Amino acid sequence: MATAEYAIATLAACGFAGLLVALLRSDEVRGLLLGIVRSALTLG
């Protein structure tokens, strides 16, 4: 039973990673993240 649970968790993690990759390839999301990082670095 534990092996099936590990398999499901692995598939879910791969799906989540794929979603993150798809989001980070978007120019809008990339620009938003760059803006957040730049504002965080200029505050310090």
> For residue 9, what pLDDT is reported?
95
> For residue 36, what pLDDT is reported?
92
> For residue 24, what pLDDT is reported?
85
Q: What is the pTM of this model?
A: 0.57
Tens of pLDDT along the chain (44 residues) come to 589 999 999 999 999 999 989 988 988 988 998 899 999 999 75
> For residue 1, what pLDDT is reported?
59
Place of tokens 């809008």: 28
Domain ranges of the chain: 2-43
d(CA 39, CA 35): 6
At a CB cut-off of 8 Å and minimum separation 6, what does 29 contact?
23
